[in-house]
Amino acid sequence: MSTSPTPGVSSPSPRLHWMDRLRNFWRRVSEGRQIDDLWSQFVADARSSYGFYDRDVDWEEIHKLPPWRRPLHVARQFFWALLLKLSPARRVLLLIAFFMLAMSVINSQTNFEVVAVMLFVLLLSLELADKVTMKRDLEIAREIQTWLVPAQPPEVAGANIAFATRPQNSVAGDYYDAFYPNPEDREKLMVVIADVAGKSVPAALLMATLQASLRTIAGENAPLADLVARLNRYACAHSLNGLRFTTAVLSEYNPVSRRLTYVNAGHNAPILRHANGATEPLETGGLPLGIQSAGNYDTASVELRPGDALIFFTDGVVEAFNESGEEFGNERWLGAIRDLPDWDAQQTLQLLMKRVDEFVGATRQADDITCLVFRSK
């Protein structure tokens, strides 16, 4: 039995069919992003890759050469920087592909272009397979790391807390925490922020050991000065002779007296913004953890009055840079803090992060960024 088109209804033309398929293909490839967004992402990736290989270029030696010789030497050193980051087998594969491509250009009778392209595609697929495998492992590590920091801030009488962290890679060396060492005792709240030297997996592993040590010592109800001294001795035993030190601010807050006692171990000084707009850095303490096993750490106390805001942060905030290479800097950060409205901790945190994002734009993040806001009501 044959069917005929319904009168008055036309079937889709082949051209429209292919246009729909092309649009679907583009949406899948671009994940629905606009051209401007894709270009910004490409520029950020290109700058990041340039910086990655640029570290292996001897610019001091190149600047000694005559200007006409510099481009060739720069290209050669960038090529070697790329080549030496591959495994020996893949280096050979890349050299063979380049040789075949060069032979095809020099001698038109040798048609090695297809083979060269296939070798480049093979090399690309091998590198992508490694990257995907590593990314999957890093995502698992990231998931484990999220278990080590609070998902939600604790309830605090007369105050509220908010925090946010943005790893530069899948895992971070930044650490923040807010917890009651003894859940039965609501008169002692630990508020901590720390930054392990370095990035990615090595820093993340040391961050995990720091968290475990801190929770263990704090659970023993050790005084703050003793807690910091013990953490420092442990950090010195695992810091590779000071190469993997940790900056930190460790504090205890009493909701009854509204008094916060703290130690700053070489970290960016938290900023206490009073209700009247005046700011006060919390600088008292000592060296970063892991530098000197016999280091001394002083403690200091401040009283948080209603309307005060205490901002903890890591160096990734003030060292964030824009596409011109200009840092956000301490002055802009202090200006953003001074201009804070009388909002709760979460709104305050969102506003501060927005100020950093507006400055940075589409530039790729160069360091872990963490901020914790403690707002007194």
Ranking 188-192, 221-225, 352-356 by mean pLDDT, the lowest is: 221-225
The pLDDT value given to residue 96: 92
**Euclidean distance between CA atoms 365 and 323, whole angstroms:** 11
Minimal CA–CA distance to 218: which of 207, 229, 227, 209? Answer: 227
CA-based end-to-end distance of the chain: 79
Structure tokens at 165: 């962290």
Among 109, 128, 144, the domain-final residue is 144
Taking the whole predicted model, whether its pTM rises above 0.85 is answered as: no
Residue 318, pLDDT score: 93
Single residue among 117, 144, 171 that ends a domain in this structure = 144
Cα–Cα distance measured from residue 24 to residue 29, given in angstroms and rounded to the nearest whole number: 9
User: 361 in a domain, yes or no?
Assistant: yes
pLDDT(5) > 60: no
Instruction: Identify the three-state secondary structure at position 2.
Output: coil
Total number of domains constituting the chain: 2
Cα separations in angstroms, 77 against 60, 87, 208, 214, 288: 13, 18, 38, 46, 37
| pLDDT for residue 7 is more than 60 | no
Work out the mean pLDDT of the chain and round it to a whole number. 86
Task: Please give the pLDDT value at position 288.
Answer: 94
Cα gap 186→28, rounded to integer Å: 51
18 domain-assigned: no
Amino acid at site 119: L
Residue 1 has pLDDT above 50, yes or no: no
Query: Would you say residue 46 has pLDDT above 90?
Result: no
Residue 315 lies in a domain: yes
- The residue that leads in pLDDT, 107 or 1, is 107
User: What CA–CA distance (Å, rounded) separates 345 from 274?
Assistant: 14
* Residue entry with tokens 């963490």: 370
Least confident range of 87-96, 169-178, 254-263, 297-306: 169-178
| 177 plus 72 within the same structural domain | no
Residue 174's SS3 state is strand
Note whether 186 and 325 are same-domain residues: yes
With residue 292 as reference, give the H or E element that holds it: none
pLDDT band at 294 (very low <50, low <70, confident <90, very high): confident
Which range is least confidently modeled, 7-11, 252-256, 352-356?
A: 7-11
Which residue range forms the structural domain that includes residue 140?
A: 30-144
Last residue of a domain, one of 116, 144, 172: 144
